[in-house]
Amino acid sequence: MRPKKILGQNFLIDRNIQRKIILNCDLNKDDLILEIGPGRGEITQLIAKSNARVYAVEIDEDLCRLLKDKFINFKNVVIIKADILKLNIKRYFSFLPGRLKVIGNIPYYISTPILEHLIKYNDKIDFIFLTLQKEFAKRIVAKPGSKEYGSFSCFIQYYTEPKVIFDIKKTCFYPVPKVDSTFLRLIMKRKRPLDRKQEKKLFKIIRIAFSQRRKMLKNTLREFFPLDKLNTFFEKYNLSYSIRPEDVSIEDFINLIKLA
Ligand code: SAM
C-alpha cells in the first residue's frame, strides 16, 4: 500500500526505535492505550504484546481494513476508523473506569490541533507519548529566554509536564520526511492552580503578550489590570519593569492572574 502524503503517512520503520518507544512508555497489562494513527500497526503490535488494551484510531479506510485483518486474533486490540480530532474521547471511553495513556506518531500538519484536542480531556488522560517534528517538540518544552518559547509552550506547560525523551533521525521513517523527529512524553497535571474563568483570562493575556513579543510586558498589561495590581505583581515576584513576555515563566503569568 502506497503511503498517502495527504494523511501525513511517514511510517516509522526502524525496529530499534520502535522498541525504544515502547520501552519508554513503560507498559503493563492494566494500561488502557489510545493509539493515534496506527498506520500499518507495527507499534500497535508491540503495545499489544505487553497485554495492555489498545484502542487504535486510524482515519485511513484502507489501513483500517489492513489493521482489522492483522489484529483479528488479538483480543486486546480494537481498531477504530475515525478522525481523532472528531472523537469525543470522554464519551467514547466512558465505559472504561481508568485513565488513558496516549501513544502516537502523529502527522506534522495536525500536531497542534491534536495536542489541543487531547488537553481538552485532561481528566481522562494520564500520559501522552508522541513522535513529533523536532522543531515543534522544542517549542513545547521551551523555557523562558529561548527563541522557541511562546504562547504554545505556556499553554502546554500549564496542563502538562513535557519532556524530550530522545530524537529520531528522519531516515528512520518511510518515506523519509524533510526533518528529524523527537519522541516526547507529556505527563498530564492532575491539579491546576486556576479555575476555568481564570484559565480563560490567563490564555488571553498570554496570547496578547506574545503577539507583541518585543513590547515590555508592563505596557501590554496596562490595558488589562489596574496599575496598583501591576506594581504589586512586579514587586512581589521580583520582576524587572522592563521584562518582555519571552522572559516571563508560565508560573509568573499564573501569579499575575491570581493577584488580579
Ligand atoms: N504509527 C504509524 C507508524 O509509526 O509508522 C503511522 C504514523 S504516520 C506518521 C500517521 C498516521 O496517522 C497515518 O497512519 C495516518 O493515516 C494517520 N492519521 C492522519 N490523520 C489522522 C486523523 N485525523 N485521525 C486519525 N489518524 C490519522
Distance 40 CA to ligand 1 centre (A): 9
Nearest CA to ligand 1 atom 2: 39
105-124: pLDDT as tens digits: 999 999 999 999 999 999 99
In the prediction, which pLDDT does 162 show?
A: 98
With beta carbons less than 8 A apart as the criterion, state whether 188 and 126 touch.
yes
Buried b (16+ CB within 10 A) or exposed e, 64-79: bebbeebbeeeebbeb
- Check pLDDT > 90 for residue 92: yes
Nearest CA to ligand 1 atom 5: 11
> How far is it, in rounded angstroms, from Cα 228 to Cα 197?
22
144-179: pLDDT as tens digits: 999 999 999 999 999 999 999 999 999 999 999 999
User: Counting atoms of ligand 1 from 1, which one is nearest the CA of 39?
Assistant: 14
Is 35 close to ligand 1, i.e. is its CB under 6 Å away? no
With beta carbons less than 8 A apart as the criterion, state whether 58 and 81 touch.
yes
Is 103 close to ligand 1, i.e. is its CB under 6 Å away? no
In the prediction, which pLDDT does 1 show?
A: 78
Confidence of residue 15 (pLDDT cuts 50, 70, 90): very high
Confidence of residue 78 (pLDDT cuts 50, 70, 90): very high
**Cα 79-136-88 angle, rounded to 5 deg:** 35
Phi, psi (rounded to 5 degrees) for 12? -80, 110
Is 85 close to ligand 1, i.e. is its CB under 6 Å away? yes
Is 105 close to ligand 1, i.e. is its CB under 6 Å away? yes
User: Cell match 487531547: residue?
Assistant: 118
Residues 6 or more apart from 128 whose CB is under 8 A from it? 101, 102, 115, 118, 160, 185, 186, 188
Please tell me what DSSP assigns to residue 37.
-
Is 108 close to ligand 1, i.e. is its CB under 6 Å away? no
| Domains of the chain in sequence order | 5-188 (3.40.50.150), 196-259 (1.10.8.100)
> Against a cut of 0.85, is the pTM above it?
yes
Overall average pLDDT of the 5-15 stretch: 97
211-243: pLDDT as tens digits: 998 899 999 999 999 999 999 999 999 999 999
With beta carbons less than 8 A apart as the criterion, state whether 173 and 43 touch.
no
Map residue 156 onto helix, strand or coil: helix
Confidence of residue 260 (pLDDT cuts 50, 70, 90): confident
Overall average pLDDT of the 58-76 stretch: 98
Nearest CA to ligand 1 atom 4: 12
| Candidate from 58, 79, 115, 133 with most ligand 1 atoms within 8 A of CB, to mutate | 58
Distance 130 CA to ligand 1 centre (A): 12
Lowest mean pLDDT among 17-21, 37-41, 223-227: 223-227
